[in-house]
Amino acid sequence: MQVGSNDNRDSARIEVEFEDYGSIVEFPSSEAVSEYVKKLSSHDSGVPVPCSSFPPGCGFEQFLVSFASQNAEMITDSQIERLWEARELIARYGPNLLPLIARSVLIWNRRDELSRMRELLTRWGRIKPETALQLLDFKYADGKVREFAVACLDESLDNDRLHLYVMPLVQVLKYEPFGSCALARMLLKRALCNYRIGHILFWLLRAELGQLSEIGQELTKTYKRFALLIEAYCRGNYSHLHSMLRQVDMVARLTNLSKIIKSMKDKECATKHLQKELTSYVEIMQNMISPLDPSDSLGALKTEMCKVIGSAKQPLRLTWTNPEPLARLHSETHEIIFKNGDDLRQDMLTLQVMRIMDAFWKSRDYDLCLSIYEVLPMGRNVGMIHVVQNCNTLFEIQCAAKQLGSTFSMDCGVINKYIRNCSGDTKLYLEGVDRFTASCAGYCVATYVLGIKDRHQDNIMLAKDGRLFHIDFGHFLGHYKKKLGINRDRVPFVLTDHFLCVIAKGKANYQESHEYKKFKQLCTDAYLILHERAKLFVSLFSMLLCMGLPELQTVC
């Protein structure tokens, strides 16, 4: 055994040498596999069982139900054999059990079973998107299985739904054995047909290049794969190439500018320097497509309104006019925070999963009024965050109400009074309370399911129309923030008396109110809708293990 070099510090690498046969060794073609399966069909071994072989009272429907909730990690060899015997029926009537069969070593280690499986995939029924995503995990290495999963995704997901899953799909490109694979071709095709998908694909690939460029001196296989995919997209998307180059140029200039500003300790001096430097960037950074959302256009850069935020990383808060004709009706400016020094991939992942949750709720006619803002990583520890306007943190509301700058226990009615004051009349107030109730239920369930921690008055915000929402997702999946070895998070989610007072419309005995009971039922319904898709969420986070996030390292 020889010890060699490894260009990836974060993972082990094993190099295997095979004997050289003096000619090309390749897997048989699909036609050859089909012919081989026909020869096998004349033998008794491997013949699938008919429906009549199931015991009385335990028909095929009960058989499918018994395996529907089965975890692939816990399935036994005897159960796999039962599934394999019923494979023809499963392919037609229970295709979503494919992950259980495709995970078995008993199949892939035997030539006959492998051939039968490959041939059966050509006749396998279409599977749900969540099942297809599961098959793209690293645990499923067979190329034909992965091709089948990609084909099902391409068929079942329209552009809006595919947009929700671009982030995990970019990550599982790392699991593909070859750069030219079905998944890469599907993403490239959809990106060239839809600019929103192409836009996020471009920036996510660039962000990954920024992460991979720090690994060793040599370019890794994944780096080359992603770079070639970006090149293919740019060559096929010539009409938008100029716009993307302007965005890349803007990000590069802001990155260099933020490095200079970080060396300045005085916030006012840093802001003046920022505004001075931005005046020379005006022509480059205005009248362009927003890097955060290609459906938004950035107008004139308002340098006098740009400033440095006084925090550890000193992010830049930038303001543009909104050139849309009806901008005065909703928002006259676009505000974006540019950050250099924080990994925004975890925030984007959290918000993207919340978007998926919101899509599931809306598909069941539940609008929980989530305010999911845009976050986009654009390189190594570089990215942008959309600023939600017309809102304040709970701490700001508290300070405005009591005119104090230190934290203390708020009066239970202060949030309710804030919504009433912002509403103006009773009708608008009741609408605001309804939005608060729905959004509070949505974020209670979402933060509980995702295990989001470190919740406090500075990262929970309230819009003037009553929508509650959370920001800053630095701790998730149950990773508590500790102070002197003590967990700061004592509850699974935030639901205070101040929130319940709003939900009950200011009633004193709010826990006995009809509104509170409706709120609890809404939370229950929202949770059960997500629980029905539990496998999808587990699969999503399993697929994203390769991101290397500190709080996403293992599968429990």
Spans in the chain with pLDDT lower than 50: 51-52, 55-57, 404-408
Instruction: Please give the structure tokens belonging to residue 64.
Output: 């499918």
Q: What is the dihedral of CA 230, 231, 236, 240, to 10 degrees?
A: 70
CB 529 within 8 A of CB 364: yes
Within a 10 A sphere around the Cβ of 353, how many other Cβ atoms? 23
Go through 443-462 and write b for each residue having 16 or more CB atoms within 10 A of its CB, e for each that does not: bbbbbbbbbbbebebebbbb
Prediction pTM value? 0.89
Please give the C-alpha separations between residue 281 and each of 94, 120, 246, 284, 323, in angstroms, as whole numbers.
Answer: 59, 59, 11, 5, 19
Distance CA 126, CA 39 (A): 27
Residue with tokens 């036609």: 31
- Sheet order of strands, 316-321 included: 307-308, 316-321, 333-340, 382-386, 375-379
Q: CB-based contacts of 3: which residues, under 8 Å, 6+ apart?
A: none
CB 308 within 8 A of CB 271: yes
Position 155, amino acid: E
The fraction of the chain above a pLDDT of 90, given in percent, is 55
Instruction: Please give the structure tokens belonging to residue 299.
Output: 């107008």
Residue 403 DSSP code: T
Alpha-helix residue ranges (DSSP H) falling in 376-454:
394-402, 414-423, 426-450
List domains and CATH numbers for the chain: 30-125 (no CATH), 129-236 (1.25.40.70), 362-368+389-556 (1.10.1070.11)
Residue with tokens 């041939």: 119
| Rg, the chain, Cα only | 27
Residue with tokens 């790392």: 174
pLDDT digits (tens, 9 = 90+) for 11-28: 677 778 878 888 887 888
* Per-residue pLDDT, 48: 54
Q: What is the length of the chain?
A: 556
* Per-residue pLDDT, 484: 60
pLDDT digits (tens, 9 = 90+) for 178-225: 889 999 999 999 999 999 999 999 999 999 998 887 555 567 888 899
Q: Which residues pair with 486 in a beta bridge?
A: 483
Within a 10 A sphere around the Cβ of 58, how many other Cβ atoms? 10
Q: Strand 288-289 and strand 486-487: pairing?
A: unpaired
* Per-residue pLDDT, 405: 47
Q: CB-based contacts of 521: which residues, under 8 Å, 6+ apart?
A: none
Instruction: Please give the structure tokens belonging to residue 355.
Output: 């978007």
Q: At what angle do helices 241-262 and 267-279 cross, to 10 degrees?
A: 150
Instruction: Please give the structure tokens belonging to residue 472.
Output: 């800053």
* Per-residue pLDDT, 34: 84
